């Protein structure tokens, strides 16, 4: 199901009873962020702020956030039933990735209803929050689609990055060399020219969903958005840069990012996806906004970053689906057999990943980790890979803890460390000097595999029916059947929902 624009998506959420329109006056400085944090922690509705201090008479008076902060909303955005299970969301995402739908250029669209140039460019006309109390300033680019073009291939990239308002026409960006926009930046820098960019704020929910996903460099995210929506993405040409943006977007910021270090400006810190503040205030590339196009009465789209236990957000929920789906596809493409399930628990944003396999041979788990770590999708994800047998429910933390306790033995080569690899420069567990993006282009990770599969070097035991591990203490089927028949006779009032019968071939 394709949503024509952000407004149609808001109507759909309202129809589902999953949108809260906040008419009480709220302040852009920290209050919006605090409301959003508490709403996210309670699994609350998407939020539309309609009365923001200092923005009653500005170009934009409203801010929308939280549109993808739950699996139910993601399912609805994909045109699926809201109760769709996480595993089914992952598999549906995988299937749609296989059929990119090329975008199409159109002459014009609602995003061209207003065109601001020169002195009319004023970022303070938009209700940009300072999301966290230690943020370096107001962040207008949080869950936006940042469009850039590879100067060699011409392929358009749409990514999610962070951008801080520095003055009325300047945005400071954190650009990392391993990301697609970082690679574009380096290519423009080597040519001695600025990099054209466009920032899309508000459109179909597939914009931030796909822009934040690891799409291959040779594929435009617009094509993947078309596949996810089931309808081609209509785009229009920008006014001042050679880039294309959705025709029905709410707001587009056009401009150039200077590649000369003498043009860099102070940016940061910012409450990052790790749940910690990331990227201390330092000189970073800055975008000079040359044009703003917007719809009448435009709605600003933003989000609260920073994932904590019990406090998930849009990035954590969408990453859980994207990163699992992409990882599964990577394993299939690289010929890794026996993969039965892949899960990214949202609290880690894809930093940790769990893969369940039907084990075919010794070293199978190591093959899984090697395949994941050797791809561009692992730039800031898949730091820790845990591989388990197919009888482990990888969506259950207790099951994973049990597998780690009794199927993992560091002395039996179940622990593999791959040191000194590329990684996220925002990970606070890495020394600050190793996360110097200006020096190294990316962060530094020591990646780890936890092989929690049954060790095939153990000898099969006849007393265990030829298995390498002893049987578990699950009930025999006849014992459970007997007890279930007499359950109420024993005096129990609650119904039995859990089974204690053998599960999995290894039991």
Within this chain, do residues 406 and 296 fall inside the same structural domain, yes or no? no
C-alpha of 96 from chain center: 17
Within this chain, do residues 112 and 56 fall inside the same structural domain, yes or no? yes
Distances (CA, A) of 11 to 3, 8, 14, 68: 10, 5, 5, 14
Quick one: pLDDT band at residue 494, thresholds 50, 70, 90?
Answer: confident
Quick one: pLDDT band at residue 506, thresholds 50, 70, 90?
Answer: very low
Within this chain, do residues 267 and 361 fall inside the same structural domain, yes or no? no
What total of structural domains would you count in the chain?
A: 3
Write down the H helix ranges in 18-85.
31-41, 71-77
Q: How many CA atoms lie within 13 A of 125 on its CB side?
A: 18
18-35 average pLDDT score:
97
More confident site: 498 or 234: 234
Tens of pLDDT, residues 456-465 = 999 888 888 8
Quick one: pLDDT band at residue 126, thresholds 50, 70, 90?
Answer: very high
What dihedral do alpha carbons 112, 117, 119, 122 form, nearest 10°? 40
- Parallel, antiparallel or unpaired: strands 163-167 and 139-141: antiparallel
* Cα distance between residue 307 and residue 283, in whole Å: 26
Domain boundary (258, 285, 301) is at 301
Q: Is 126 helix (H, G, I), strand (E, B) or coil?
A: coil
* Cα distance between residue 297 and residue 306, in whole Å: 29
Q: Over the range 13-48, which residues count as b (16 or more CB within 10 Å of their CB) and which as e?
A: beeeebbbebeeebebebbbbebbbebbeeebbbbb
**At 435, which CATH number?**
3.40.1670.10
Q: Is residue 169 part of a domain?
A: yes
Closest CA to 407 of 469, 334, 323, 328: 469
**At 231, which CATH number?**
2.30.110.10
pLDDT of residue 25: 97
322-347 average pLDDT score:
96
Mean pLDDT over each residue of the chain, to the nearest integer? 94
Neighbours of 220 (CB within 10 A): 25
Within this chain, do residues 445 and 493 fall inside the same structural domain, yes or no? no
Quick one: pLDDT band at residue 507, thresholds 50, 70, 90?
Answer: very low
pLDDT of residue 505: 40
323-330 average pLDDT score:
96
**Domain interval for residue 382:** 334-452
Tens of pLDDT, residues 217-273 = 899 999 999 999 999 999 999 999 999 999 999 999 999 999 999 999 999 999 999
Tens of pLDDT, residues 467-480 = 889 888 888 899 99
pLDDT of residue 441: 83
The model's pTM is 0.92
Quick one: pLDDT band at residue 280, thresholds 50, 70, 90?
Answer: confident
């Amino acid at each position: 199901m394709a949503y024509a624009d952000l407004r149609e998506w808001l109507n759909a959420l309202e129809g589902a009873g999953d949108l809260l329109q906040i008419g009480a006056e709220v302040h852009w400085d920290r209050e919006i962020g605090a409301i959003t944090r508490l709403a996210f922690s309670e699994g609350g509705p998407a939020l539309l702020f309609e009365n923001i201090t200092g923005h009653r008479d500005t170009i934009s008076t409203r801010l929308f956030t939280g549109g993808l902060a739950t699996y139910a909303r993601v399912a609805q955005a994909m045109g699926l039933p809201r109760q769709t299970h996480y595993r089914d969301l992952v598999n549906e995402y995988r299937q749609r990735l296989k059929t990119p739908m090329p975008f199409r250029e159109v002459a014009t669209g609602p995003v061209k209803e207003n065109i601001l140039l020169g002195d009319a460019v004023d970022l303070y006309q938009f209700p940009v929050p300072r999301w966290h109390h230690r943020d370096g300033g107001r962040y207008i680019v949080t869950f936006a689609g940042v469009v850039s073009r590879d100067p060699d291939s011409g392929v358009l990239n749409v990514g999610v990055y962070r951008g801080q308002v520095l003055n009325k026409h300047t945005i400071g960006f954190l650009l990392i060399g391993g990301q697609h926009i970082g690679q574009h930046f380096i290519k423009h820098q080597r040519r001695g020219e600025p990099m054209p960019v466009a920032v899309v704020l508000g459109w179909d929910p597939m914009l931030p969903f796909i822009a934040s996903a690891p799409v291959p460099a040779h594929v435009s995210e617009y094509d993947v958005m078309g596949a996810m929506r089931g309808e081609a993405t209509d785009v229009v040409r920008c006014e001042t840069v050679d880039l294309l943006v959705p025709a029905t977007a709410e707001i587009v910021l056009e401009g150039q990012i200077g590649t000369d270090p003498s043009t860099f400006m102070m940016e940061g810190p910012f409450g990052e996806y790790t749940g910690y503040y990331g990227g201390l205030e330092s000189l970073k590339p800055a975008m000079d906004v040359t044009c703003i196009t917007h719809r009448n009465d435009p709605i600003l789209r933003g989000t609260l970053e920073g994932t904590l236990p019990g406090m998930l957000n849009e990035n954590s929920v969408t990453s859980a689906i994207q990163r699992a789906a992409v990882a599964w596809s990577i394993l299939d493409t690289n010929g890794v057999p026996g993969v039965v399930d892949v899960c990214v628990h949202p609290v880690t944003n894809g930093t940790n990943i769990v893969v369940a396999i039907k084990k075919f041979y010794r070293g199978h788990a190591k093959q899984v980790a090697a395949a994941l770590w050797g791809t561009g999708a692992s730039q800031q994800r898949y730091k820790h890979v845990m591989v388990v047998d197919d009888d482990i429910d990888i969506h259950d933390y207790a099951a994973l803890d049990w597998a780690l306790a009794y199927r993992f033995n560091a002395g039996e080569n179940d622990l593999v460390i791959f040191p000194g690899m590329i990684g996220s420069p925002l990970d606070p567990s890495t020394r600050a000097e190793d996360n110097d993006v200006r020096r190294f282009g990316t962060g530094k990770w020591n990646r780890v595999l936890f092989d929690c599969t049954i060790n095939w070097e153990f000898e099969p035991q006849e007393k265990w029916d030829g298995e390498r591990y002893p049987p578990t203490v699950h009930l025999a089927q006849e014992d459970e059947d007997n007890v279930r028949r007499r359950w109420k006779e024993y005096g129990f009032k609650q119904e039995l929902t859990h089974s204690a019968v053998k599960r999995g071939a290894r039991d």
